[in-house]
Amino acid sequence: MGALVSTVVNVVIALSVAGGLFVVLNLATNRTSQRWDDRLRPWLFIGPALVFLMIGLVVPAVRTVFLSFRGGDRGDDGFTAEHWTGLLGNDSVLSFDRAGDILTSRLFLVGVALVVVGIVAGRRTAGEGGGGRIRGIDLGNPVSGVALSVAVLAVLMAVFSTLRGVIWNNLWWVVVVAGLGTGFGLALAVLADRSRRETIAKTLIFMPMAISLVGAAVIWQFVYDTRGAGQAEGLLNIIWPGDQIDFLRGTSSTGSIAPWNNFFIMVIMIWIQVGFAMVVISAAIKGVPSELGEAARVDGANEVQVFWRVTLPQITSTILVVVTTLTITVLKVFDLVKATTGGAADTDVLANRVYDTLQDGNFTTSSTYAVMILVLVLPIMYLNVRRNRDEVRR
């Protein structure tokens, strides 16, 4: 009880000091010239927010980077890069041993075949006009656009499912969840908008977003479970015609399905995030001026052509926002993996390594894994900020 009272008192004191400081600074700016008042007043309002950002975000981030270059478990043995060289040279973190198997992967061959289909279909309509032409390929053609998109997804999945290591696992999560989540969200947004019970349909699709990742893991455990002592058989194994498969652990009576057990965990995240993608993209579709579609129909375009050549180009920026949001979310994934496999069976991710090493008291290694996540997130944040800045300038 005493600790609670002390916390409340400290919060009240902090708020009182902040409020008093704001009043004093506000009075001070009122007595300055108009020119200085215009310069200082914006900083007066955003100053407290910047202070909290510095204390809660910038300072911890800088300290984490600092610790990742310190020696010893607690960062008390001077500066060194041994944690970085040791982890990046560790096959469980980053391995290129199976890089040669990528070219023989079925997914890679499927991706190459789809690239050919996309190029041929795109070149056939490249001279007909319309947007989205790259090197003589009409990406506004539905066959070309879908084929090339699926081809990129298949090739990347072939790469990241072949190369093993925690970093490759994280990147595989990004490709599958961000790619399929956005694709399914786009498809569901189009279908839900055409439904007579649009509100009910969107509510049901969005409902998984209200479930915690740990709760979702428990729900899907009933889908993936194998028959065991005191354990009910999961829905997927009931439907599956062959032997029992542990879809999460990647084992079966006929052999291992690893690393594809990662994919079955990703399905849970897609199930959760597709509602978010659908709602955001649906709002963007509704914002497209109806006059554009009507003009295209007057010119003889069918519904598919209206969508691919009119609607889709108008919502490209929104789709990029969804992709970047899902990418950042997935790069930090932790609780879903922890609740399903705990990182075992070749399903470990960077955030899980951060937690495990921190539990062992190894602050420097934990900081190194955390900085790896930051390094992966920063380029995406930079591209997103740059894109937003370009849109504002337009």
Quick check: 34 pLDDT over 90?
A: no
**144-161 pLDDT, tens digit each:** 888 889 999 999 999 999
Angle at CA of residue 342, ends 336 and 344, nearest 5°: 125
Following CA atoms 45, 51, 53, 58 in sequence, which dihedral angle do they give, to the nearest 10 degrees?
140
Give the lowest-confidence range in 263-267, 371-375, 377-381. Answer: 377-381
| pLDDT, average across residues 351-376 | 91
Neighbour count for residue 261 (Cβ, 10 Å): 24
Quick check: 134 pLDDT over 60?
A: no
> Considering the domain boundaries, does residue 90 fall inside one?
no
Same domain, 248 and 178: yes
**291-321 pLDDT, tens digit each:** 888 898 888 888 888 888 888 989 988 999 8
Contacts of 93 (CB under 8 A, 6+ apart): 87, 165, 166, 167, 353
Same domain, 213 and 261: yes
Same domain, 297 and 369: yes
Whether residue 286 contacts residue 202, with contact meaning beta carbons closer than 8 Å, is answered with: no
Binned at pLDDT 50, 70 and 90, residue 181 comes out as: very high
Q: What is the CATH number of the domain that holds 256?
A: 1.10.3720.10
Residue 389: the pLDDT is: 75
- Mean pLDDT over all residues of the chain? 84
311: containing domain: 166-393
Binned at pLDDT 50, 70 and 90, residue 229 comes out as: very low
pTM metric for this prediction = 0.84
* 3-state secondary structure (DSSP) of residue 256: strand
% the chain with pLDDT above 70 = 88
Residue 31: the pLDDT is: 64
Same domain, 180 and 156: no
Query: Going by DSSP bridges, is the β-strand pair 251-252/255-256 parallel, antiparallel, or unpaired?
Result: antiparallel
Neighbour count for residue 271 (Cβ, 10 Å): 18
How would you class 187 by CB atoms within 10 Å of its CB: exposed for 0-12, middle for 13-18, buried for 19 or more? middle
The residue from 68, 87, 107 where one domain ends is 68
